[in-house]
Amino acid sequence: MKIRKAFVAAFLVLCAVSAYLGFAKIEIQYDKAVHFTTFFILTLVFYWILDTSRRRCINASILVCTLFGGVGSEFAQTLFPHRTFDPMDILCNVAGSLSAVVICALYHQRMLTRARLARYQPVDDSAIAVGPDPEPDLELGEIAPVNDERPRD
């Protein structure tokens, strides 16, 4: 399993920005859209950190981003006096995170399918013997021609 360092760096920067927005005393008019977008982007970046199987990427993204990030961050806000718990925030966090997981998983599947198809090479024509067929192909019910006779229809 390989770790993609550029995605780790991007994820850490996004986590820092998200933490600042989440715990600062800032009033944002479209709070739910910000929650959805933030967790969509966080999950989108986190999904590609690990270079491993599709199933592991999905499971890790759901565990870390959706459960710990999306649900855990809202429960952590109860520890701060100026923040309030809002179940709709959890819903927007989970929806954004799961949307990103679905999109990444579909793209990952497409990527794996294309890589699998690219491994197959066309058959080399020079490997096929060229010359007269010693035995002609017959359809079911045909009789083999005798002395250059053609089968009757």
pLDDT in tens, 72-130: 988 888 887 777 888 899 999 999 999 999 999 999 999 999 888 888 877 666 656 66
Residue 11: is it exposed, middle or buried by C-beta count within 10 angstroms (0-12/13-18/19+)?
A: buried
In a domain, residue 137? The reply is no
The confidence score (pLDDT) of residue 153 equals 53
Give how many domains the chain has, as a whole number: 1
Q: Which of 58-72, 85-99, 136-150 is predicted least confidently?
A: 136-150
Least confident of 3-12, 63-72, 110-119, 143-152: 143-152
The per-residue pLDDT for 61 is 96
Longest Cα–Cα distance of the chain, Å, equals: 101
* 134 falls within a domain: no
**pLDDT confidence bin for 140, thresholds 50/70/90:** low
d(CA 28, CA 83): 13
The mean pLDDT of the chain is: 85
- Give the SS3 label for residue 55: helix
Q: 141 lies in a domain? A: no
Report CA 27 to chain centroid distance, whole Å: 34
Length of the chain: 153
Q: How far apart are CA 128 and CA 32, in angstroms?
A: 64
% of the chain beyond a pLDDT of 90: 54
CB 73 within 8 A of CB 100: no
Determine, yes or no, domain membership for 146. no
Helix (H) or strand (E) holding 32: helix 31-47
Q: Give domain status of residue 139, yes or no.
A: no
pLDDT of residue 71: 92
Per-residue CA distances from 94 to 5, 54, 59, 68 (Å): 26, 20, 14, 10
Range of the domain at 36: 2-121
Assigned domain for 152 exists? no
- Establish if 142 belongs to a structural domain: no
